[in-house]
Structure 1
């Protein structure tokens, strides 16, 4: 039997040569021409000439050579460097063969290149996969093409059509996708969910990273609250599915609907990839929802501990900074994305958390405040950077042990006032202003401290002549308004002269002078 198998393997190329003798003869010529065409030293005119020669060789033989590993690269290069008309010729010869090509290790690259370089053929390519999506997703090579179609090139209606094929034959046959799962009759709905669940079990095993699978999983979880086998399997794969928008929303639902043991298991699954997930556009939202619904804050502290090892990297990242911001400031729309907020509110209606929100918020703040206060104490200049300044501000306003960090802020205030001063800088001044405005309900007399430092250093008038926002805040604060006005009133003329000479910020000068004239 073994010998027979070897003879078949040896005989196959010979059979192919008999079937396409012309193609086999062309191969050496094509490869040689390809080496010339892909050279980086060619000028635009030379490349056009070489491309023309290549198309003369290819016409009538394109389909045969796309399935071979050496000559498939020839077609990829032609699609890259050819004109739209030449790409159209290639598409015309391949028309009707896209499903076949998608199953080929080499042919799938041709389909993906056509999608990229020849927009007029996209609708035909997408249409050619109609009725085959569910089957092709189980094929290793073809699944990559389906994913490219779904994630990049399909419009909203086409995406819905593609994912609807995963719901079962009946759903597709009667065009139920136009109404979606929510519009189905109860009898049909149960049958569709069973069919979708069976399909998902296979796809989660084979292709858990695909966004079309995430979309189908999200639809399934939204329509079925029962903790079935699909839900259990999805929880095991939560770290793999949260990288897309649909996948992250599915992961958030898994956290919201899971019990304490389920959440513990999912957090354990996520922990090895915690830093990377916290820095992802969609992944970080899953962490926020996990923080919002998990009552075991001790477990959360142990899970997230790795993040506090590199606080500078954490607070400087566009998405990772939202983790400490949420833990300090709660569901502030300024810091928490719309997707995460929507899911949190949905969780409220389900009773996802049993703990008092204020108590949980206090416990979450306790996990992070010490690390953030120490970071700010060691890196006070972070208030001049956009993202870190937000964390610095919330740390000062909400953390308890901030005396050393606040002392470093006052040292920045004490410096000579110029364009880069903490009271004038367009980023840093917001931190000081927010602290001054919050003095009436804060544990620290922020405004009084700032005014005291400015008075001692003789910098208050200079700051006013720069039109500094914190000076305006000092005048508007009940705690510091009277004393600030008393100190600045004799210098109105100087402040007005500074305003006339300033190119920007005149409205702030006007506000300061208005307070002084009352």
Structure 2
């Protein structure tokens, strides 16, 4: 009894604290005797991936829980092969609904034949017979399928692998559609194949179909490269001058003059027409420059004619516009002549802009068949020798071994050595 009293006295001596401050509850644990899980505990435990299954006779709860989870996942996973089959059937049903049964069957068979013709390991006899069979299916329907995204590829296959007589028959059927085809996202590839694989007579027929629409095609993002391909690779000098004439005004859209070979010839007999022709030419040039389609040789030829004949105010304005575009202009002979005029007749501000642009492309320009002329023009006309040394000479001298071995780079390398030697001696 005395001991109990002593214990009670010791208990009374301890400092009394409130119940809330005695026990610090951790998140996820409860002080309840029934061990009920709070909302916090369930959220954190499920995030950590804990399993609340007790160990039994079959092993740990974790293993059983993982197996059940995998089984559920496998049962819930969609079968992709079945889904693909269903999508394919839906696609075919939609195509059948859009077209008649005969057209659908013909297009389906044509695609299969085109796929077989394109294979690398194919016997020539089988390829020629397949091309004849495919042409027999599509003959008379090329106009209706030329602008489609799927069957236009079938035409491309035929134009590449078929014989010349089949190519000529296809082209003759499509000649009236050349202008919309060359502007089409899918059909312009067929026009390139016609130009590449057809005979000379067919190529010139295709180029004739472009007449009357040259400026429109040159200002179109899809047709401009195809037109430049036809101009640079297959057009004769007469056809080139006829293409350039359409930039001089609407007078030359429907009629061409064989005497007009450059811009000055267009107003040679009637000088009062000079201002009107120059204004229309300027409008066509600015239209193409606004769309950043200045890479074509046709446009650069017209630009070179215009910059030589325009007024001093228009020339100064044009040079300031062309200074940031000086590198792509140097890809052709008329383009590099235009670029050289910009260097020779531009202001000091224009020359600094040109040097900043050329600095990154100095080595590639020195090895280009026409680009090296731009560097020679810079060495010839730019008075700021310190800026030339920093921008061009230092870059070229560090890559001199690579430039000297190139055919076109030898001319630039000699001047680079001379300029570098002068600066070193100074």
1:25: how far off?
A: 3.2
- Show the 5 A alignment for 1:250-289: 250-289=338-377
Q: Check the 8 A contact 1:245/1:282 in 2, yes or no.
A: yes
How has the CA–CA distance of structure 1 residues 19 and 167 changed in structure 2, closer, same or farther, with 3 Å as cutoff? farther
Distance, in Å, in 1 between the alignment partners of 2:141 and 2:254 is 37
Note the residue ranges of structure 1 that are not aligned, 5 or more in a row: 1-12, 330-362, 371-399, 402-518
Q: In the alignment, what sits opposite 2:164?
A: 84
* Aligned counterpart for 2:242 among listed residues 161, 165, 174: 161
* Aligned counterpart for 2:149 among listed residues 56, 69, 74: 69
Distance, in Å, in 2 between the alignment partners of 1:278 and 1:93 is 47
Q: Check the 8 A contact 2:294/2:329 in 1, yes or no.
A: yes
1:68: how far off?
A: 2.1
1:109: how far off?
A: 0.8
Q: In the alignment, what sits opposite 1:355?
A: none
Q: Check the 8 A contact 2:217/2:227 in 1, yes or no.
A: yes
Q: In the alignment, what sits opposite 1:127?
A: 208
What count of residue pairs does the alignment treat as equivalent?
Answer: 325
Distance, in Å, in 2 between the alignment partners of 1:144 and 1:82 is 25
Q: In the alignment, what sits opposite 2:415?
A: 326
1:219: how far off?
A: 0.6
Say yes or no: does 1:366 pair with 2:422.
yes
* Aligned counterpart for 2:123 among listed residues 43, 47, 52: 43
Bigger radius of gyration among the two: 2
- Show the 5 A alignment for 1:412-431: none
* Aligned counterpart for 1:217 among listed residues 303, 309, 317: 303
Distance, in Å, in 2 between the alignment partners of 1:136 and 1:161 is 14
Q: Check the 8 A contact 1:23/1:64 in 2, yes or no.
A: no
Say yes or no: does 1:314 pair with 2:408.
no
Q: In the alignment, what sits opposite 1:55?
A: 135
How has the CA–CA distance of structure 1 residues 161 and 257 changed in structure 2, closer, same or farther, with 3 Å as cutoff? same
Distance, in Å, in 1 between the alignment partners of 2:249 and 2:383 is 38
Distance, in Å, in 2 between the alignment partners of 1:20 and 1:199 is 45
- Show the 5 A alignment for 1:358-507: 365-367=421-423
Q: Check the 8 A contact 2:397/2:420 in 1, yes or no.
A: no
Q: Can you list the C-alpha shifts for 1:342-386, whole angstroms capped at 9, x where unaligned?
A: xxxxxxxxxxxxxxxxxxxxx56514xx6xxxxxxxxxxxxxxxx
Q: Check the 8 A contact 2:212/2:254 in 1, yes or no.
A: no
Q: In the alignment, what sits opposite 1:199?
A: 284
Distance, in Å, in 1 between the alignment partners of 2:382 and 2:110 is 62
1:43: how far off?
A: 1.9
Q: Check the 8 A contact 1:17/1:24 in 2, yes or no.
A: no
Q: Check the 8 A contact 2:363/2:399 in 1, yes or no.
A: no
- Show the 5 A alignment for 1:73-112: 73-112=153-192
Q: Can you list the C-alpha shifts for 1:193-231, whole angstroms capped at 9, x where unaligned?
A: 111111111212220111111111111112125142333
Distance, in Å, in 1 between the alignment partners of 2:326 and 2:245 is 23
Distance, in Å, in 2 between the alignment partners of 1:162 and 1:242 is 21
Note the residue ranges of structure 2 that are not aligned, 5 or more in a row: 1-92
Distance, in Å, in 1 between the alignment partners of 2:408 and 2:127 is 44
How has the CA–CA distance of structure 1 residues 20 and 306 changed in structure 2, closer, same or farther, with 3 Å as cutoff? farther
* RMSD (Å) for aligned C-alpha atoms: 2.4
Q: In the alignment, what sits opposite 2:325?
A: 237
Give the TM-score taking structure 2 as reference length: 0.71
Distance, in Å, in 2 between the alignment partners of 1:35 and 1:171 is 45
Match of 1:128, SS? helix
Q: In the alignment, what sits opposite 2:12?
A: none
1:248: how far off?
A: 0.8
Say yes or no: does 1:189 pair with 2:277.
no
